[in-house]
Amino acid sequence: MSKIVVGLSGGVDSSVAAATLHHQGHDVIGLTLWLMKGKGQCCSEGMVDAAQLCEELGVPHHIVDSRETFQSNIVDYLVAGYEAGITPLPCSQCNRSVKFGPMLHYALTELGADAIATGHYARVQFNPDTQRHELLRAIDRNKDQSYFLYDLTQEMLASLHFPLGEQTKAETRRLASELGLHTATKPESQDLCLVEQHGSMGSFLDKYLAPKPGDIVDTQGRVLGRHTGIHHYTIGQRKGLGVAAAHPLYVVALDVGRNQVIVGDRASVNYPDCTAHRVNWVSTVTPLEPLRATVQIRYRSAAVAATIWPLAEAASTSSAGARVKVVFDEPQFGVTPGQAAVWYDGDRVLGGGIIEPLPVQHRLAAALAQTSQAES
């Protein structure tokens, strides 16, 4: 059997992942990353629960101080993104740069392990025809987390186990109870760790970004109201605008230069395409020709049909600078810069990248075109 380091958050999913591998006869070592500075309730409670689980299983438990890595790769990344008028997706960045990469390095070099495992809902398989490790959706589509894992490398996937990928969340809860784990009834995390610690993303950002009042305008430039900072808004947002109108208004664009939040009707937030950078082709090599796929542009959205067009920079080997253009079969609502676009072939994750921002004038032109099309 293998020596496997299991990432433990202190929740039921990672607990069952560790217990499952332990009962299969593997030499399990628990590892918890200390991520947040200050008195983060999420981290402190998680470390206590993880330590208790390892005591229940009779396995070692290590805590690795990753606070500086988390600060530079996630906190600073989020703040800079929101300040620039985009809505960053921290989870995929965190998985590659803070969790899986450093955890794998520590497991192999410091603990002499053969592999690592987590409680994520996803699957990995090796394709002998392509000689590549492939990332797949979990059996439980309601819990599938492959969207957040598209940026993992072949090296990571080769040494990675997802023990929960073939079961449902209900089965995980049942196993936790049957195994007598103290986390069996622990409530599930409902939001980002930073949001859970600070109450809301706005409250978190307000710690780092000073209020900067400006105008809320429509797509014609007419002033409709005021805002306290563009970092409180995201593309497609409807609630909390504080603007009275005869019909619902949505955020169409964020003009950082003019410090304006631009709003319009729902049709104006539909986009026929987008570009993505920092592309990672995870389950396949970088294609030279356009390919058909289904694309997910946010975690809870359905995957929709699209064509992926590799751009000139992507013709070489996969790199952080690779780019693609995603052309949707039907215009999509709220395509948000900073979020991930992840493309699939059935359950197989082909790749993904970060949606690029459009210049404000291009966004406005696209918004007006979509509104005109909707009215005709």
94 is catalytic: yes
Q: Any alpha helices (H) in the chain, and if so which ranges?
A: 12-23, 41-57, 67-70, 76-83, 90-94, 101-109, 154-158, 169-178, 193-198, 201-206, 360-375
How far apart CA 344 and CA 282 sit, in angstroms, is: 11
CA 36, chain centre distance (Å) = 18
54 is catalytic: no
End-to-end CA distance of the chain: give it in Å, rounded: 66
**287, 295, 301: which is closest to 345 by C-alpha?**
295
Q: Which of 42, 43, 94, 274 is catalytic?
A: 94
Tokens 């200390």 correspond to 34
* Beta strands 348-355; 270-281: pairing state: antiparallel
The beta-strand segments (E) located in the chain are 3-7, 27-34, 61-65, 115-117, 122-127, 132-137, 160-161, 214-218, 223-227, 250-255, 260-264, 270-281, 291-296, 304-310, 324-333, 340-345, 348-355
* Packing angle, helices 12-23 and 169-178, rounded to 10: 60
Q: Which of 43, 91, 193, 274 is catalytic?
A: 193
Which residues are catalytically annotated? 94, 193
